[in-house]
């Protein structure tokens, strides 16, 4: 009955909406010769429908399962394709019921209707892509509207274009993952990054899409949901803590105003004895050549609108959209927390709550935060943002870090989980980003550099220990056969020795 009333309401208002839309179009064309003077919420939601509603999700871990599960739960859901990085996972999916499960407070919610494809990550060594077997590679023609030389696809991989891609992999595997589908992305595609740390999108542009003419559009997301591994299977995750997803569009290089405050053309130099660089506003505050960040304009593409509106429709995600300057500040706040909690818990091999009520660790935390605060407050991207000096003050950042550590005192950080498993951590995109930007600004971040190298060293040490403990046999049957052979040889040798003694 409710659905019927909603359908009748939409039919009655369809003609009014259509006539109003036509009237606005005529007015805009009469006043601006067909060029829009701006954009508002009405223009955003009246965008033309997309040609391809399919959304691809790369990284079928806890975050990937949660995102794909939420997308299939909205009314009129879009087609969702899961991109697997290994053939064994692809085979396991095909042999399973092909369903994703999210457990919330003991209740399991199961959803199906997913497609699956294989996208084998390309191995990268010293910034170069290696490991592509020429015998199994299939040349891909320029069928997705991109320029440049043809790319190669491995046997079994799809060559259909990807319009909307959500990357849920770890930051250290993003380059390898995008390399496997770069032949399917074009200038109209949109990529949503859901990783910890900063500098990932810039690295993708530098290594994979250096040409702005063929570069896809980027979106950035900050996920605060708590997700844990579940015992129900490989395609099940536990929604342990409710959070939000903060979304924002990263303006494309072709759409940026040369005088936009997001540009990084200006470089400031700071010495070791100087404080944060003090920002001075433009000489003429009313000069239209220097618009404030809130009034900066950039072009919305069709698939950016589609992906953003689709994610905002999922209630369980709690998604909210932000302007690029606001999203950058949220990223920097989360980065400051991760720069403290993640590496210290790895070095201590302890839960987040171990950082509380410890004088020695508080001193270490303050030394790290002093460098982090100085780098953030000296960023040229924030030169026109008000209240930056107080928002990223070391004292306030310490309050934020302590609050997060207290709320998650019983949890294990994601970096500690990776280190314990012998996996590569995201330290290069967390503390490593602070060190890199500090060098560009003339700030020496010795404490963060030391912590970054110690985390890397411990990860290598654990990975070696894990590798030393793996038996070089295929299965337990081979191991038992080897034991039987050794016992038989030992028995024969003993019999031979007894025979010689006799």
In eight-state DSSP terms, residue 20 is H
pLDDT of res. 264: 44
Q: How far apart are CA 311 and CA 289, in angstroms?
A: 34
Quote the strand ranges of 148-225, DSSP E: 152-154, 164-167, 190-193, 217-223
**pLDDT above 70: percentage of residues in the chain:** 67
Give, as one character, the DSSP assignment of residue 346. H
The C-alpha atoms of residue 174 and residue 193 are separated, in whole angstroms, by 9
State the burial class of residue 413 (Cβ atoms within 10 Å of its Cβ: 0-12, 13-18, 19+): buried
Q: For residue 64, what are its two tokens?
A: 């990937």
The pair of three-digit structure tokens given for residue 324, joined into one six-digit string: 């690029």
**Beta strands per DSSP E along 298-451:** 319-321
For the segment(s) 330-468, the CATH number from 3.40.50.970, 1.20.58.100, 1.10.1040.10, 3.40.50.10680 is 1.10.1040.10
Reported CATH class of domain 47-255+298-321: alpha beta
Residue 302 has a pLDDT of 84
- Residues of the chain whose pLDDT is less than 50? 1-37, 133-150, 257-268, 277-287, 289-291, 293-295, 477, 479-483, 485-486, 489, 493-502
Identify each DSSP E strand in 134-257 by its residue range.
137-139, 152-154, 164-167, 190-193, 217-223, 226-229, 236-241, 245-250
Query: Residue with structure tokens 């411990």?
Result: 458
Q: How would DSSP label each residue in 464-490?
A: HHHHHTS-SSSSHHHHHHHHHHHHHHH
Residues near 333 by beta carbon (within 8 Å), at least 6 away in sequence: 391, 392, 397, 400
pLDDT, residue 212, reads: 87
Round to whole Å and give the CA distance between 203 and 76. 35
CB 141 within 8 A of CB 150: yes
How far from chain centre, in Å, is Cα 116? 20
CB 342 within 8 A of CB 419: no
Q: What is the per-residue pLDDT for 143? A: 41
128 sits in which H/E element: strand 128-130
């Amino acid at each position: 009955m409710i659905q019927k009333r909603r359908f009748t309401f939409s039919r009655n208002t369809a003609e009014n909406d259509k006539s109003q839309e036509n009237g606005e179009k005529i007015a805009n064309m009469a006043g601006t010769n067909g060029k829009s003077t701006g954009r508002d919420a009405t223009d955003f939601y009246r965008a033309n429908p997309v040609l391809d509603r399919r959304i691809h999700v790369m990284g079928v871990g806890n975050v990937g399962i949660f995102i794909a599960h939420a997308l299939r739960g909205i009314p009129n859901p879009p087609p969702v394709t899961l991109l697997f990085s290994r053939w064994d996972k692809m085979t396991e999916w095909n042999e399973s019921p092909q369903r994703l499960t999210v457990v919330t407070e003991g209740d399991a919610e199961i959803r199906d209707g997913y497609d699956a494809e294989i996208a084998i990550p390309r191995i990268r060594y010293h910034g170069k892509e290696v490991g592509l077997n020429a015998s199994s590679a299939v040349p891909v023609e320029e069928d997705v509207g991109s320029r440049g030389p043809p790319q190669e696809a491995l046997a079994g991989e799809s060559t259909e274009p990807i319009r909307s891609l959500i990357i849920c992999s770890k930051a250290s595997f993003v380059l390898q993952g995008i390399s496997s589908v770069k032949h399917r992305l074009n200038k109209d595609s949109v990529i949503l990054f859901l990783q910890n740390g900063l500098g990932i999108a810039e690295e993708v542009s530098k290594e994979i899409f250096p040409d702005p003419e063929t570069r896809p559009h980027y979106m950035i997301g900050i996920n605060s949901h708590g997700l844990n591994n579940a015992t129900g299977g490989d395609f099940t995750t536990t929604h342990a803590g409710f959070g939000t997803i903060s979304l924002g569009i990263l303006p494309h290089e072709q759409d940026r105003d040369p005088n936009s405050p997001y540009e990084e053309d200006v470089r400031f130099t700071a010495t070791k004895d100087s404080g944060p660089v003090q920002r001075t506003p433009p000489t003429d505050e009313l000069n239209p050549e220097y618009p404030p960040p809130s009034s900066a304009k950039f072009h919305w593409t069709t698939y950016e609108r589609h992906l953003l509106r689709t994610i905002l429709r999922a209630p369980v995600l709690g998604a909210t959209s932000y302007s690029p300057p606001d999203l950058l500040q949220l990223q920097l706040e989360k980065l400051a927390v991760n720069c403290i909690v993640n590496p210290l818990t790895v070095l201590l091999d302890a839960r987040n709550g171990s950082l509380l009520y410890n004088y020695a660790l508080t001193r270490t935390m303050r030394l790290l935060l002093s460098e982090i605060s100085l780098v953030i407050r000296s960023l040229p991207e924030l030169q026109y943002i008000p209240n930056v000096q107080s928002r990223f003050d070391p004292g306030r950042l310490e309050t934020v870090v302590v609050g997060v550590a207290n709320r998650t005192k019983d949890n294990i950080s994601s970096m500690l989980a990776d280190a314990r498993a012998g996996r590569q951590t995201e330290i290069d995109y967390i503390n490593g980003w602070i060190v890199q930007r500090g060098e560009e600004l003339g700030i020496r971040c010795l404490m963060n550099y030391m912590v970054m190298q110690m985390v890397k060293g411990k990860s290598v040490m654990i990975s070696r220990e894990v590798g030393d403990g793996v038996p070089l046999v295929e299965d337990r049957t081979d191991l038992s056969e080897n034991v039987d052979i050794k016992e038989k040889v030992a028995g024969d040798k003993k019999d031979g020795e007894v025979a010689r003694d006799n």
